[in-house]
Structure 1
């Protein structure tokens, strides 16, 4: 008989889902409002780039430090602090009178969202185990799908009702009631803060090196196109990586507690599963953006029409994420591999459909393909997360979750400009009907990335990195660590 969430576990999960929905809805709302805020604030292209991408940059920067702080100092206080920062600077974003004020507010919103999300993953790790953890991660993924699906139509409705001049401000204000409600729920229902490490060692040098490495990797993709210095960024990333590895080994030899727990550093399944997560997240995010570009630029559809064609993907993802734990119980380690294979096939099918389907039927055909894209993401996302985080010891649950999420953000930062560049170059060279060929090229590239991830998933499954029925407990849990009782009801 399947385990069920007890009342305390359900309340903790509700807080995590509400916070996830609040922070993830923000970005999908903003994407709809960019043209309106650009015209209202007379923003330059570089400022728009920072308004849109600065949030993701700050979000990624906050994940690993937030996870480490949560592991060492406890998660509840950081959760509340991050949510308060996100909510407060959402209000500043809504009232900004200058583009750079909005840039600053968006950066601080991203820091708050990163703190919140690192505590959510750590809290789920702390509170739930086994199949309950896989189900909790699946439900957390459902909130992401709903936020992605509902953001564009909600943003479009707000702009239609309030007008474009001030409507974009209301899209930021929507974060405030959601944030305040979540603050109240979190203060009442999250477990009290306590360290899961048993030591106060933050490894500040390790944190600084990770922050610098994240900046060096992500900043080139946040800056407007046409910049230079790619080789310098690459060399800096290599040097920082080598320095970080050296520092972590030295820290262990001194008898201290490094940022990356030795169990994570030695875990092949953790590394392979993280690669799968990066491939899945980066390819699916990039494919979704290229689809919207093709629908609007290639087929001349309105933003609302394009959003409706892409809507089946997040909806199907939400449903399959909620049901993925049942598939894992039956098929075990093959679930993630099959999901990645379906993702590769669906992306390739989308490209072929764009080449061969008459224009009148093409939006319907692409919407059907998006159903399978969403199912594939749901089958991979939560089961792979559960499998990867199973190898994170309790004292490194927050850092493990932060590394996983940060890796996904980096993959998206790399994949989005790369795939959109393939599409734009192909469309510019061919012109006219060339949009179809360009979309096929971009889709085939995404499919190739997903196909390579299938091979990695096979290796991960063979090394114990994919979940099987009844699995889900961490393999390295420190002695004396007691799991919170929530969620362990029969």
Structure 2
């Protein structure tokens, strides 16, 4: 295969890489519904098992950019196989954990492997696809991201219902083993060989930059992922520290480039790549708005309405299905309609969440989940028109040797946006619910989500005009 001749196995290779990436993203949300099962099975405190979720999110966010750089430097196939193998092993360790400490350590390692794995998806798409096909491939990636976020609680509820409350949580992790092993076998056969000669880590990896960026991301994420454990009150001082570390990181990376060495993140990615900075900002703002909605809906229906984990998950299933459908179609049409598709999608998401908020206040108590699910389907259609086109347009002008890092930075913004949005929406829900009831709390949380989606809409309109 030459550079001009596409790999005949590219679509099969994409299917393998997306299935592995889907697992990593799914494990962000699927564990939430298994927390009560973990508490009863391990006799753990609520604060301890919360770290099963928080530790994964932290490790995931911390390793994304390093994973992208390693893929750019050492080869996507190499990094994919190593990180997927690690993910399978740590999933087994988590499922077999005999105590909470072992489980938390396993989740930290599992999150790190997922963070190293996921940037290889966008890098492989950049390497394997050209022209309109690249839009279709990013459409499938967008569907993978959107669906994994929404469908996690449903699958988690199904697994707990099948295997029971006492041991069901173990199968939330064990389910990764057959999928991961099959993906490994196919990846060995289908992923293209790395074109680059393996590089020396010391020469290619900016260790100082990785530490500075990792600490900056940690300072942002730790207070947010520990929000429900009074994280903002205890760790507020980390936010200004994150600003200082971010400034030092940018200065260091510029110095590294001027010295002729390989940076972790070439800052020219933001200044010299058309559409990248604005696309990354749109993605982060949108993830602020839409991902926290699923956390609040789960809390409202399970705590206030007495729904099971599976029943509350089914409420958001229409969003997931509509998002998957729209993402596939949007990926095919993005070359024709461009940023207009993102703008239309954001309008549909805002409209769907607005109607859901109104129905949260006015719909009859019986069948409330169905009433809310209907406008969520409209929001899902819009969501599918946001993630995949925005990913395509953000990455389309990125140079191939920076594709892994560019995709990783995009995902890091999404992870930070997810943490901010979840903390904000959960806080709004709790404050209002304590004084005016759960339905009012849900409506206000959805109104906050709409405001954040409209922020993304403003950014998208400005980008198109620019």
The answer on whether the counterparts of 2:138 and 2:392 sit within 8 Å (CA) in structure 1 is: yes
Match of 1:133 in 2: 134
Deviation at residue 9 of structure 1 after TM alignment: 1.1
Whether 2:230 is the aligned partner of 1:226: answer yes
- Judged with a 3 Å threshold, the aligned counterparts in structure 2 of structure 1 residues 155 and 436 are, in CA distance, closer, same or farther, namely closer
Counterpart of 1:49? 50
Aligned to 1:336: 342
Within 5 A, what are the aligned runs for 1:108-119?
108-119=109-120
Deviations 1:254-313 (A, max 9, x none): 233332224313146211111110111121111121122222333333322221111100
Q: Find 2:317's aligned residue among 302, 305, 311.
A: 311
Aligned partner of 1:252 among 245, 254, 257: 257
Cα-to-partner distance string for 1:341-396 (whole Å, 9 max, x where unaligned):
22122212211121222222432221111101111110000000011112321111
Q: Is the alpha carbon distance of 1:47 and 1:198 closer, same or farther for their aligned partners in structure 2, counting shifts above 3 Å?
A: closer
Does residue 214 (structure 1) correspond to residue 187 (structure 2)? The answer is no
Q: Which residue of 1 aligns with 2:186?
A: 185
Q: Which residue number in structure 1 is paired with residue 67 of structure 2?
A: 66
Distance 1:196 1:70 in 2: 12
Which of 455, 460, 463 is the matching residue for 2:458?
455
Structure 2 residue aligned with 1:159: 160
| Range 262-271 or range 9-18, more displaced | 262-271
Q: Partner of 2:247 in structure 1?
A: 242
Check conservation: 2:274, 2:397, Cα contact below 8 A: no
Check whether the contact 2:225–2:423 (CA below 8 A) recurs between aligned residues. Answer: no
Match for residue 205 of structure 1 among 200, 203, 208: 208
| Gap change, CA 1:156 and 1:87, over 3 Å in 2 | same
CA distance in 2, matches of 1:356, 1:160: 32
Q: Taking structure 1 as reference, are residues 140 and 8 closer, same or farther at Cα in structure 2, changes over 3 Å only?
A: same
The CA distance in 2 between the partners of 1:405 and 1:188, in whole Å, is 27
**Alpha-carbon distance in structure 1 between the residues aligned to 2:401 and 2:197:** 5
**Cα distance, 1:153 vs structure 2:** 4.1
Three-state SS of the structure 1 residue aligned to 2:167 is helix
Contact 2:139–2:328 (8 Å) recurs in 1? yes
CA contact (8 A) 1:53 1:222 kept: yes
Deviates more, 1:255-264 or 1:234-243: 255-264
Question: Which residue of structure 1 aligns with residue 449 of structure 2?
Answer: 446
Give 3-state SS (helix, strand or coil) of 1:165's partner: coil
2:7 and 2:128 in contact (8 A); partners too: no
Q: Distance in 2 between matches of 1:139 and 1:101?
A: 35
Task: Write the deviation string for residues 74-110 of structure 1: whole angstroms up to 9, x where unpaired.
Answer: 1111111101111001111111011010000001011
Point out where structure 1 has 5 or more consecutive residues left out of the alignment: 464-490
Per the alignment, residue 297 of structure 2 pairs with 291
Post-superposition Cα deviations, 1:173-216, rounded to whole Å, max 9, x if no partner, equal: 11111111111111111111234999953222211111111111
Q: 1-side partners of 2:163 and 2:353: how far apart? A: 37
Please give the alpha-carbon distance, in whole angstroms, between the structure 1 residues aligned to 2:244 and 2:267: 21
Cα offset, 1:229, TM superposition:
4.3
Distance 2:10 2:66 in 1: 26
Whole-Å separation in 2 of the counterparts to 1:66 and 1:121 = 12
Deviation at 1:150, TM superposition (A): 5.0
Matches within 5 A, 1:90-101: 90-101=91-102
User: What TM-score does the superposition give when structure 2 sets the normalisation length?
Assistant: 0.93
Contact 2:220 2:242 in 1 (8 A): yes
- The match for 2:86 is 85
Task: Determine the C-alpha separation between the residues in 2 that align with 1:149 and 1:391.
Answer: 30
Q: Given that residues 143 and 388 in structure 2 are in contact (C-alpha distance below 8 angstroms), is that contact kept between their aligned partners in structure 1?
A: no
Q: Distance in 1 between matches of 2:180 and 2:421?
A: 30
- CA contact under 8 A between 2:119 and 2:407: conserved in structure 1? yes
TM, length-normalised to structure 1: 0.88
1:13, 1:320 → 2: CA distance?
A: 19
Q: Are residues 321 and 98 of structure 1, via their aligned partners in 2, closer, same or farther at CA, if it must alter by over 3 Å?
A: same
Question: Residue deviations 1:412-442, cap 9 Å, x none?
Answer: 1111111111001100122xxx222211111
Following TM superposition, by how much is the alpha carbon of 1:246 offset from its aligned partner in structure 2, in angstroms?
A: 1.2
Alpha carbons 1:424, 1:438 under 8 Å: kept: yes
- How many Å separate the matches in 2 of 1:349 and 1:187? 47
| 1:142 Cα deviation from its structure 2 partner | 2.7
1:151–1:333 distance in 2 versus 1, CA, 3 Å:
closer
| Structure 1 residue 24 displacement after superposition | 2.8
Aligned length: 457
